[in-house]
Amino acid sequence: MFRKKVLLSTVIVMAFMGGRESAEAQTSAGKPKKEKENLAEKFANVSPKLTSDNANPLLDFMFTADPTAVEYNGRIYVYATNDHQQYEHVGKDGKNSYEHIHTLVMMSTDDMVNWTYHGLIDTAKLAPWTQNSWAPSITSRLEADGKTHFYLYYSNSGVGSAVLTSTSPVGPWSDPLGKNIVDRSVPGVDCEAPFDPGVVIDDKGTGWLTFGGGTPKTKYMPDNSRIVKLGADMISLASNVAKIPAPYFFEASDLNFINGTWAYTYNTSWEQRTEWPYTNKDKPTQCSMSYMTTKTPLDPDSWTYRDNYFKNTGDVNVGPMTNNHTHLFKFKEKYYLAYHAMYLQDYFGTKGGFRNVGIEEMQVNEENVNIQMGKATFKGPSQINLLNPFVLQQAETTGGTSGQVQFEAADNAGNMVAKGKADKQCIMVRGADFSKQLPSKFEARVKGKGRIDVYLNNLKGKAIVSLTSDGKDWTTLSKKIEQKIDKGTANIYFVFNGEDFLFDEWKFIN
């Protein structure tokens, strides 16, 4: 009898437990599983660059315009108007009317597709007497002190042109004059807007500055483009101001010196080309780029109109119609043209006229100083050398991002760090060279609470390595790579998040 009771009790308990387990299983089955975030889908349409082969615009996380460039130690440094400062003031529904712009943007590359963002030049702080800072133009020269000096001219609103100097391409910068180098008070200027400076140093080491703009005298010959020789110090004038008879001139003066010839480039106006005296040259299209040449720049009669060399970006379906400002430069035996177009407006949800710098490879015949027609594209230039992932690389070096990624200045001039958010962001570098060796570890210098997941070639599948940070101080973390990596060339994607997380630099270790 006792044995029967025990068996009965056991059956009841087992039945109860079985029912409980069945109920728990049903409850568990009723809970939806948390699916892994689809990063490829999340970042599919955030930038024209991140998941494509496009190299334009140079920076896809902020608006920039009116480029200039200088080469130094195997890198090309590009400087631009900070349209993003205007965007931040007026918002996506506002207009880019330039009045809130008081900084210039710095960036550089050695391969033409991965760009290091060096932050801003705060002209309002450096030169508080100025109104705005637009359209920079830079040159450099090795001086008697054995240092390379950089001379950066820029538009002080429309009232004149100012100049900053430095012995580094990323600063610190200083204001040597405390006033405009050219404005309406200078004899011979005689134009309403002596802005948009364009500088060049010739083969004798002499500097030259072009500028001008304002109300035209006539539609065909506005008569407000100017040139002047600079003093030996590059911050004074050493000649009378001379006119450049530029047909349909509007703005955006720039200057090159090629094979003993001065080549002057400018943005033509929006006016209809009702007057055109040249029978052997086509009329420039509206608001496009044209150029002129001379051997004697201070003689107005010596300038020859050559041709139109870059159409309005709206004419070639790279964003809407807009003004332009170009800079022609030679880097590693190739000519390039820096310009701007409205690449990012759709990605930022705005139609306010905010611009971005792009670059195209150009064909220039140096013998006769002939600049062939170029064309704005999203594709941009090709990568001219591979990125080395086994040396320290900056987090602010990007070939594409998830858009609106933020960076903040670090202690050293020109050094920035990437800022995390609660939501995941992505930075990509293009063309990393894993052809000769494969890594065993990944390391990154980070600060704060956050995480980095590293992917190769695309955002699908598993990360090859992940780092988690929880420190209040800067530290370098490393992690063994568990996933198989194939030899070859790869794009590297860094997906990171964390509200107080900062990401400074990274490298792979063999």
**Marked catalytic residue, from 66, 83, 360, 453:** 66
| Catalytic (active site) residue 24 | no
Cα torsion 249, 251, 254, 255: sign = positive
Cα torsion 448, 454, 458, 462: sign = negative
Cα(510)–Cα(506) distance, rounded to whole angstroms? 14
Which residues are within 8 A (CB) of 360 and not within 5 positions of it... i.e. 6 or more apart? 336, 337, 339, 374, 375, 376, 377, 380, 381
Cα(341)–Cα(322) distance, rounded to whole angstroms? 7
CB atoms within 10 A of CB 45: 12
| Cβ 96 vs Cβ 87: under 8 Å | yes
Cα torsion 500, 505, 508, 510: sign = negative
Cα(56)–Cα(379) distance, rounded to whole angstroms? 6
| Cβ 174 vs Cβ 180: under 8 Å | no
| Cβ 95 vs Cβ 353: under 8 Å | yes
**Marked catalytic residue, from 111, 175, 196, 251:** 251
Residue appearing with tokens 């004059």: 177
CB atoms within 10 A of CB 472: 9
One-letter identity of residue 440: S
Q: Any idea which residues carry the catalytic annotation?
A: 66, 251
